[in-house]
Structure formats: structure tokens, C-alpha cells
Amino acid sequence: MDISTQIIWLFILSIPISCISWSVTHEEIFREPREWCVKNAANGRTLLIRKAFYLFTCEYCFSHYVTIFFIIFSDYKLLLDDWRGYIIAGFSLVFVANIYMSLFGLLRQAIKKEKVEIKKIETEEEHISQS
């Protein structure tokens, strides 16, 4: 695979990695299992148990395991065609996926801020019109 194709794969393969990592660690559909993992991460008997459950609450940590799955699934290597290519690909995919998640988080934060500001303006206008 030539380098331009590898770069395209890097940016495209990072999309499902970030999507899965973000969804499991932030979205409402996974809230109950995540809360259970948070509880076990805080109250686990051993360090290994606490860290194992913590992996499902941190998007950065979880993205490493999702990346491993996708590297095995796609046989993606970056720059080198041996085992070193898998390692380079793994850390590169995690890096790009976390950039995507950070940008998504900032976008969601900006949207929430706008919604709050709009609600405040509507409330003030409603209060003025009632006066």
C-alpha cells in the first residue's frame, strides 16, 4: 500500500474508532453500564479490577482497545510492512481518533452554550413582553 493510501486509511479508520470510543464513554445509551463501571473502578478490590473497569469510562483509554480491534479487523499497517507497522498504526490511529473526539466534544459544548444563550434570550423576551 502506498503512503497516500495509508494516510487516507489513517484518517478514515479513525472515524469509527472515535465514534465507538465516544459513544461507549459518553452517550446516554451506555449510561447504565458506564455507571456500573465507574462504581467498580472506584470500589474494586484490586488495582487490576479498578483499572479494568476504568478503561470503559475514559475515551482515551478505551480508544486504544478499539484501535487494536480495528487493526486486527483491517490488517492496517502504517509506513512499515512488519510488526512495527502495526505499532506505528496503532498509536497514529489513537492520536487521530482522539483529535476527532476532542473536536466533537468542543462542537457539542459550543452547541450546548448556544442553546443556553438562546433559552436565556427567549426567557428575557418573554419576561419583557409580559411586563
Q: Average per-residue pLDDT in the chain?
A: 93
Cα(4)–Cα(12) distance, rounded to whole angstroms?
12
Question: With bands split at pLDDT 50, 70 and 90, how would you rate the model's confidence at 129?
Answer: confident
- What's 77's DSSP letter? -
Among residues 38, 10, 24, the alpha carbon closest in space to that of 99 is found at 10
* pLDDT tens per residue across span 8-55: 999 999 999 999 999 999 999 999 999 999 999 999 899 999 999 998
What local confidence, expressed as pLDDT, does residue 39 receive?
A: 94
Q: Give the H or E element holding residue 72.
A: helix 59-74
CA distance 24 to 79: 30
- pLDDT tens digits for 74-116? 999 999 999 999 999 999 999 999 999 999 999 999 999 999 9
d(CA 93, CA 104): 16
Give residue 18's identity as a one-letter amino acid code.
Answer: S
- pLDDT, position 1: 85
